[in-house]
Amino acid sequence: MPPKDPDENKTEKAKKALTAVNFFVETNRLEPYTAVYLISFRKWNEVWFGIVSLVMNLAMLVFQTPAGDLLDKTRHKKTIAAAAIFVAAITTVMVVWTSNFWLILIGKTIEGISATIFLPALMSLLLGVCLTQKEVPAFIATTEVSNKVGSFLFVMACAAVSYFAFPDVGAIFYLLGAGGIAAAFFTLQIPSDAIDHARARQLGQAVDLDSSSDEDGGSSHPAVGSKEGKPARYRELLQNRGIVLFAVLTFVYHLANAGVAPLLSQYVATISSQSVSLTWTSAVLIVYFFSQALTARWMSTAIDRFNHKALTTVALIILPIRCAVIAMMVMYWQNPYFLVATQLFEGVGAGIYDIMLPVIVKKLTEGSGRFGFTYGFIVTCWRIGHGVSLLLGEAIVHYMGYSSAFWILGSIGVLNLLSFVSFFRLGGEHREAQ
């Protein structure tokens, strides 16, 4: 058997390390636990937590796009990612050490800024360690499988702690903090010479930002206003129809989607005993991560077999169906077990969408040298939609009730689906008139 090429050995080691990082890294496991812990166990009122959440999200909005731009320009992606993950791990545990409002506000703000750094950093590292563009979508799916399996197991452990150790549930945050430290360790195991920094920022042979040669029918053309080997101008990216439209669609998707799970958790808590509030929160997350892990596993093969727009459309269809089912159950059948089971829908929809988002951004920016900047910009739109969704959902619940909230969020999802199907094109269908 011939020996492996040294580049292949380094790439294989880098991919294994990145897969391990994604298993341990916290991307969306904490928010429900932090809210319930501070309000129910630290005797915070909802306004205090709302202020902390608002400031944290504002910091993330301000820093997300510049962080992506930084990751395009730096050759220290690995070190920066590891440092950001480690800092986020420490701030995770802060809620156990203190209940002081100002300390937690500062800590959560730092945690938010750290998250804006390590998300685009990990995606840039993923692009940088892949030897060919063709293997990127499948490896994105592989890392998503690892992340969702890790999330599922962590949440299972948190559920056990919250049930058996009640009311002493601080160990949940130590568990999540330890996961962050492990993720930082594995980030440092990525061989530095396995990272191609040009590939990491999608800098190479320039192609039309409104097209790419792929299964959706695109063809390669020189990027508007860019020169081969040089990054595109920021203005060209922000004037690009495909990028701007996808940013708007991402905002609307999260406007419709982000508020559903928190409202579902709240509603289930209102029809259940207070002593099992954290257990129900864990149950909502367990069902979600379980179905998302299975979906991500399926996507690891489906992403190379099916049209990418069709896959994304499936994710968008699932959202209004899920909202309608929950709304009907709230109106006519208030069973907490079946309400929690509706998270299967979110697991499938988000399992597809979370993988397709970086794949679509990669297609839209191929050859531009601005992947990190564009990815940061799209994630900023995601975060704005997320924050507005929570506010909108809570306002509708306050004035109109839970069922109305789910119907309205589902209607926004229908609008987003129709807009995506009608106006968004991958490949050469976004070419602007010359």
Domain boundaries, the chain: 6-430
What three-state secondary structure class fits 203? coil
pLDDT of residue 167 exceeding 70 = no
> Is the sign of the CA dihedral 162, 168, 173, 179 positive or negative?
negative
Give which of 60, 67, 107, 109 is closest to 384, Cα–Cα: 60
Give me the amino acid identity at 255.
Answer: L
Residues above pLDDT 70, as percent of the chain:
85
Cis geometry, peptide bond prior to residue 32 (ω within 30 degrees of 0) = no
Residue 79 near residue 190, CB atoms below 8 Å: no
pLDDT confidence bin for 32, thresholds 50/70/90: low
pLDDT confidence bin for 83, thresholds 50/70/90: very high
Give me the amino acid identity at 88.
Answer: A
Q: What is the dihedral of CA 202, 203, 206, 211, to 10 degrees?
A: 10
Q: What letter would DSSP give residue 366? A: T
Q: What angle do the packed helices 171-188 and 6-24 form, to 10 degrees?
A: 170
Question: What is the per-residue pLDDT for 255?
Answer: 92
Q: What are phi and psi of 258, to 5 degrees?
A: -65, -35
Give which of 95, 106, 108, 89 is closest to 21, Cα–Cα: 89
CA gap 296, 306 in Å, rounded: 14
User: Taking the mean position of all CA atoms in its chain, how far away is CA 313?
Assistant: 18
Give me the amino acid identity at 97.
Answer: W
DSSP secondary structure string for all residues of 212-266:
-SSTTS----PPTT--TTSPPPHHHHHT-HHHHHHHHHHHHHHHHHTTHHHHHHH
User: What are the pLDDT digits (tens) for 224-258?
Assistant: 334 555 777 777 777 788 888 999 999 999 999 98
User: What are the pLDDT digits (tens) for 53-80?
Assistant: 778 878 888 888 888 888 878 888 888 8
Question: What is the per-residue pLDDT for 165?
Answer: 67
Q: Which helix (H) or strand (E) holds 202?
A: none
Question: What is the residue-averaged pLDDT of the chain?
Answer: 80
CA gap 160, 75 in Å, rounded: 42
CA gap 146, 330 in Å, rounded: 34
Question: What is the per-residue pLDDT for 212?
Answer: 42
Give which of 95, 101, 108, 116 is closest to 55, Cα–Cα: 108
User: What are the pLDDT digits (tens) for 136-156?
Assistant: 788 888 888 888 888 888 878
CA gap 88, 31 in Å, rounded: 13
Instruction: Determine if the pTM surpasses 0.95.
Output: no
- Structure tokens of 224? 């508007």
Give which of 277, 269, 284 is closest to 156, Cα–Cα: 284
- Those residues whose C-beta lies under 8 Å from the C-beta of residue 319, and which sit 6 or more positions away, are 253, 256, 257, 260, 345, 349, 410, 413, 416, 417
pLDDT of residue 412 exceeding 90 = yes
- Structure tokens of 327? 């709304």
CATH of domain 6-430: 1.20.1250.20
- Structure tokens of 423? 């106006």
